[in-house]
Chains A and B, each alone.
Chain A
Amino acid sequence: MTDAYIVGVDMIKFGRFPDKTVPQIGAQAALMALDDCGLTIQDMQALYCGNLGQASGMVGQRMLQEIGQTGMPVVNVANACATGATAFREAWASVKAGLYDCVLAVGVEQMGKGLLGGAGAKVGIPKEGLLGSGTMPAVFAEAGMEHARKYGTTFEQFAKVSVKNHHHSTLNPKAMYQIETPLDEVMGAEMISYPNTKLMCSVNVDGSAAAVICSEKKAKELGLMSRAIKVRASVLASDPWQERDLVMPDVNSCTRKAAAEAYEMAGVGPDDINLIELHDCFATAEILHYENLGICKDGEAGRLIDEGEVALGGRIPVNVSGGLLSKGHPLGATGIANIYEVSTHLRGEAGSRQVEGAKMGLTHVIGLGSACAIHVLEKAS
């Protein structure tokens, strides 16, 4: 099978765009990714379009109605917060399979403000606040408290994740916010669902990101190898059975399964990875994934954040983009935005937040329900 390369990739600055349609927001990133590699929509053989909020709304086709109706096949993808990464993976798979040699993947989302999850009942009575909470801040708080019961992880350690990622975002002009949030401010912010305060919850924003993927032969023909990013591994996992599945959506076992498969596919280990963009939908979640992705041993995640190993300049910087916590989390776009961030570092184009000498990076997203997508990316040699 051919190797597949990202030749063009970009994202819009995340924000709130109530006056635009979802296809219009997606079209912006699509055009930017095409411009990044100097190709046109006519060069694309297929489109894989990820969006959650209008999953039945043919967003991909409507986007092409904005930027070029070539008649190419369009696959619309929905997979919770793994939507964008799943669209990217389908695009990658089509190139790997030899079906196409130049395709476009787009992730886009337009979001309201406020709590996600825990929706009202269609029959009977609403269960929110009666049988616990199904809101996302509470669900991820419960997952964090499971780590606390095992390893004594503290509220302060969870909060430090948010301090770090907000700091990183001050260096990223495409992040929703560029604001420092000191520890006392994070811990003193409105408590949403203990131990997650408001500043420990990801930001609901509108956004889009896109990538152009080519076969090795095509990338070379087009003369696009100098800035190309090799996809060393692309893995998608669902949640293997766990004893508390029915009451505690599982973000750990599917991440561990996907990570093991991704490292095997890439032929590398966690020590070979120079930076990670992982799914910090809540500060509690990031702590779990240090261990799930194998960058430290089980029980060491608290030490990692305490000692700054996961900060820019540390041993293995995590979420230097600002993460979902401050860059923002437009659900369907997040997976490709993470791929944009890692690619930008591998190209040495990340400016003041550049992870020096980055050669290989990993992206991770989790959609509750559950879906985990991991990509291992490397600068083309």
Chain B
Amino acid sequence: MSDKPLAAVPYLKIPEGADPYLEGHKCGNCGATFLGERDVCSKCGARDQMSAVTLPNTGKLYSYSIVYRSFPGIEVPYISAIVDLDDGTAIKGNLINIEPDPENIAFDMPVEVVYDDALGRKDADGNAYLSYFFQPTASA
């Protein structure tokens, strides 16, 4: 068992002695950005043009659903959100620290990426995980 939390998804990086961040892979030919490592661009087909980029921690809410019915053991309601990060990369996750009510949720509302324990979920070996979440950007 690891004494440090593992990353919930491969595109979440936890560097030694630095803040966690999300990593994208950008095509040097057409500029498309992907979550997760790959060798070939599915937009333009270019090979060996991919390079890792650090994704921004801010973006805007593109679309969402408020989930009331999920699988057993999963706490509801929660907001399933599609966020466009500031560099244009689309990413999905839970939108937290906001009342799950359509009245409170606005398209294009600014959100920030925050990193926290993966809701207490552990794998079969007892490892804890670090995940990412979105929350409304604190007004200055």
A binds B: yes
Which A residues lie at the B interface, using CB under 8 A? 115, 118, 120, 123-133, 135, 137-138, 141-143, 145-146, 148-149, 155, 190-196, 241, 243-248
**Is the pair A241, B68 in contact by a Cβ cutoff of 8 Å?**
no
What's the minimum C-beta distance from A195 to chain B, rounded to whole angstroms?
A: 8
Which 10 pairs between the two chains have the least Cβ-Cβ distance?
A: A141-B65, A132-B80, A247-B92, A129-B74, A194-B66, A244-B90, A133-B80, A149-B107, A125-B121, A132-B92
How many residues on B have C-beta within 8 angstroms of the other chain's C-beta atoms?
44
**Is the pair B94, A130 in contact by a Cβ cutoff of 8 Å?**
yes
Which B residues lie at the A interface, using CB under 8 A? 6, 8-9, 32, 34-36, 42-43, 62-71, 74-76, 78, 80-82, 84, 88, 90-94, 102, 107-108, 118-119, 121-123, 129, 131-132
- Chain A residue, CB-CB nearest to B81: A132
Query: A115 to chain B: which residues have CB within 8 Å?
Result: 69-71
Q: Which of B88, B121, B131 has the most CB of A within 10 A?
A: B121
What's the minimum C-beta distance from A247 to chain B, rounded to whole angstroms?
A: 4
Query: A133 to chain B: which residues have CB within 8 Å?
Result: 65, 67, 70, 78, 80
What's the minimum C-beta distance from A221 to chain B, rounded to whole angstroms?
A: 47
Query: B64 to chain A: which residues have CB within 8 Å?
Result: 142, 145
**Is the pair B63, A248 in contact by a Cβ cutoff of 8 Å?**
yes
The verdict on A124 contacting B68 (CB below 8 Å), with A244-B90, A246-B35, A248-B90 known, is no
Interchain CA distance A203-B68 in the complex, whole Å: 18
Q: Which of A148, A155, A244 has the most CB of B within 10 A?
A: A244
**Is the pair A241, B42 in contact by a Cβ cutoff of 8 Å?**
yes
What's the minimum C-beta distance from B89 to chain A, rounded to whole angstroms?
A: 9
**Is the pair A129, B78 in contact by a Cβ cutoff of 8 Å?**
yes
Query: A243 to chain B: which residues have CB within 8 Å?
Result: 32, 88, 90
- Chain A residue, CB-CB nearest to B129: A125
Can you pick out 19 interface pairs between chain A and chain B where the beta carbons lie within 8 Å of each other?
A: A115-B70, A123-B123, A125-B129, A128-B74, A129-B94, A129-B119, A130-B8, A130-B94, A131-B8, A131-B92, A132-B81, A141-B65, A143-B63, A149-B107, A191-B69, A244-B62, A246-B34, A247-B92, A248-B63
Interchain CA distance A115-B94 in the complex, whole Å: 19
Partner of B102, one of A127, A131, A194, A241: A194
**Is the pair A190, B68 in contact by a Cβ cutoff of 8 Å?**
yes
Query: A196 to chain B: which residues have CB within 8 Å?
Result: 65
Q: Which of A126, A195, A196 has the most CB of B within 10 A?
A: A126
